[in-house]
Amino acid sequence: MESSVPTQIPGQNAILIGTDWYPEQWPESRWEEDLRLMEAAHLKVVRIAEFAWSTMEPSEGRYEFGWLDRAIALAAKHHIVSVLGTPTAGPPAWLTQKYPETLRIDENGRRATHGIRAHGSSSSPRYRELCRRIAEQMAIHFGRNPNVVGWQIDNEYGYALMSYDDITRKQFQDWLQAKYKTLENLNTRWTTSYWSQTYDNWAEIPIPGESHNPGLRLDWKRFTTYTWSAYQQNQIDVIRKHADPRQFITGNFMGFFDGFDHYLISEPLTFASWDDYVGTGHVDPIANGLTHDLTRGFKKQNFWVIETQPGAVNWSNINNFQNRGEARAMAWQAIGHGADDVNYWQWRSALNGQEEIHGVLVGPDGTPVPFLEEVSQTAGEFDKAQNAFRGTVPVSEVALLYSYESHWAVQYQKHTEKYDDIALLKSYYGALRPLAQSIDVVSPYAPLDGYKLVVAPNLNVLPKDLADHLLAYVHNGGHLVLGPRSAMKDEFNSLLPQRQPGFLIDALGARVEQYYALEKDFPISGALGSGVATVWAEQLKTNAPDAQVLLKYGKSNGWLDDQAAFVTRPYGKGRITYIGAILDDKLTSAAAQWMAKESGIAPVFGPVPDGVEVSRRVGEGKQVFVLVNYAPEAREVTLPHAMKAVLADRPVENVSLPPYGVEVLLSTK
């Protein structure tokens, strides 16, 4: 466990609620009233300035930070700390007018125009220079301000949009040259003799579109990650140079958005943040919990929900409002999964602009909307729970592996339009989460010791170094479970010259004979019960006497009839399991129960009724549990032993939770 938790700001509360505030949109005379209302609602943080470039630098080289000094000072007077966003997702008109090469060019060759956002080109040297300048000026000015606790770089990293211009193509070619050294090497790795793709010089290599070579496409994604990392680093460097090390640096990500590899881009950040929006409909606690755990896994530490939905958004199909109590449940769920802050986007609607009718905490008239009441209640509860959460982090015995490279590789060649690797990840998460009550989602390259069970539902790209890493884990006593399509490709997105699961065939004592995209479900049964294989099925064949078959296909397409679908084998001090089919929900759940039993996984809290989610954070000599009831009826929870109910402020042995009900339980046992 981490000795210090970087998101718990020294001298501040352990868990915070805040909002995204845009003082530049309002007369200064109004600010005090905004902040008074925030303070009354127990809000502790504002994120500011991430779209205020034209106000901070109204013309080239003329910096106006006085207004922001005053806004930050006034916030501090109301016991609110500030997080500064660098404004580089919104370059001002004078900039794009004077330096048109800073505007992104889309895949069809069209240059972006001013008046939108994320219109800058992340690969333009000129744009980088201008971004560096504003970030540096901000860091010089605010880097020692005691009321500025940290920085957010850019905003949602321009959705990872790339510029399809000559400069970018040349950078890509140079990047490829640095990676492959010789064209011969590149041609071999990408098998360019196929369709006469052979490259004779680096300048011939195109920026890929959808019909290009899978090796080229995967490298373009890596280059995209590299570009946005460099874009981010350009600003981090100047902030780190001038700012107090106490100030954190984060980036706001978007859950499973797959524009770049989030493990890599998160590396230089103090911690990761994400923007948690439901959009149409209502929170799916499994999907939302999974996404919190994904974000926590970017750096394997606590994170922030730096934006979340204040009732409704403006960009979904139906911008319905969250039910009363739903946002409070979501805020507590975030904390349970390792968030140390939840910020509502946004405080007050701008009177004009693209997001005029997005949800807010304060209406255009400057008075609270009813939703603020719920935020205020939740923030008051956060106040009450500070001590319980100080120094705590989630700790898990089960890890799910999520790899961007494997995700992209499968996306490029889905083989069936129904293949959805994230849905598969979610189905294993949904089945395992209630059994373990805490799951980490991590990169396949993350250290795995300490986990009793590691499940990799989609490790399509599994080169030798990764196989060695996984085998070492199994050898030392871990249980590795692989899903369908595992270990088909190497890091160049080339097929491995073995059958699946590639370098793991010997350890598994079995291999995949043939794979099938399914147009209809096929029966499947065995020691785990019976049901159907859906979407995808692989025919496995064992070649070791101790490789056990736990599920077989029934009568299906002839090829799969009576063939193995699920194989497990002891290996070293541990075990390796391969599940070659996408199983229906009932069988997925049976498989999860088998995995948990086989690996000695028990729920960290103990049994809870259906619809109740338990999460745990662990600190020095204490455990703190967050219970949230997502069922439409009340639920009674019996505790494993007496604990302190932190919100109810009394010792309890049972808790009664209404729909969307929450309790925080502190155990020092």
Residues that bind ligand GLA (CB under 6 A): 155-156, 275, 277, 307, 313, 315, 345, 355, 358
- CB 316 → ligand GLA: shortest distance, Å? 9
Residues constituting the chain: 669
Return the number of the residue (311 or 502) whose C-beta is nearest ligand GLA.
311
- CB 50 → ligand GLA: shortest distance, Å? 7
As beta bridge partners, residue 62 has: 59
Q: Are 496 and 490 in contact (CB under 8 A)?
A: yes
Return the number of the residue (81 or 312) whose C-beta is nearest ligand GLA.
312
- CB 46 → ligand GLA: shortest distance, Å? 14
- Which of 50, 57, 136, 156 is labelled catalytic? 156
Q: Name 293's Cβ contacts closer than 8 Å, sequence gap at least 6.
A: 337, 338, 394, 400, 429, 439, 440, 441
267 DSSP 8-state letter = T
Residue 380 tokens read as 């008051």
Nearest residue (beta carbon) to ligand GLA: 275
Strand ordering across the sheet containing 339-344: 248-250, 148-152, 81-85, 45-48, 16-20, 339-344, 303-308, 273-276, 252-253
Task: For residue 440, give the 3-state DSSP assignment.
Answer: strand
| 598 noted as active-site residue | no
Return the number of the residue (85 or 484) whose C-beta is nearest ligand GLA.
85
- CB 151 → ligand GLA: shortest distance, Å? 15
Query: CA 568, CA 548: separation in Å to the nearest integer?
Result: 5
| 156 noted as active-site residue | yes
In single-letter form, the type of residue at position 215 comes to G
Distances (CA, A) of 22 to 52, 205, 459: 8, 44, 43
625: part of which helix (H) or strand (E)?
A: strand 622-629
Task: For residue 274, give the 3-state DSSP assignment.
Answer: strand
- CB 345 → ligand GLA: shortest distance, Å? 5
Q: Are 121 and 84 in contact (CB under 8 A)?
A: no
- CB 68 → ligand GLA: shortest distance, Å? 18
The alpha carbon dihedral of 197, 199, 203, 205 has a sign of positive
Return the number of the residue (190 or 274) whose C-beta is nearest ligand GLA.
274
- CB 280 → ligand GLA: shortest distance, Å? 13
- CB 329 → ligand GLA: shortest distance, Å? 19
Q: C-alpha angle 448/584/446, rounded to 5°?
A: 10
Return the number of the residue (307 or 381) whose C-beta is nearest ligand GLA.
307
- Which of 50, 136, 307, 405 is labelled catalytic? 307
Return the number of the residue (360 or 614) whose C-beta is nearest ligand GLA.
360
Return the number of the residue (308 or 438) whose C-beta is nearest ligand GLA.
308
Query: CA 422, CA 425: separation in Å to the nearest integer?
Result: 5
- Angle at which helices 28-40 and 66-77 cross, to 10°: 30
Query: CA 443, CA 424: separation in Å to the nearest integer?
Result: 16
CA-closest candidate to residue 377, choices 304, 325, 420:
325
252: part of which helix (H) or strand (E)?
A: strand 252-253
134: part of which helix (H) or strand (E)?
A: helix 125-142
CA-closest candidate to residue 484, choices 577, 396, 622, 594:
577
Return the number of the residue (91 or 484) whose C-beta is nearest ligand GLA.
91
**Where in the sequence numbering do the catalytic residues fall?**
156, 307
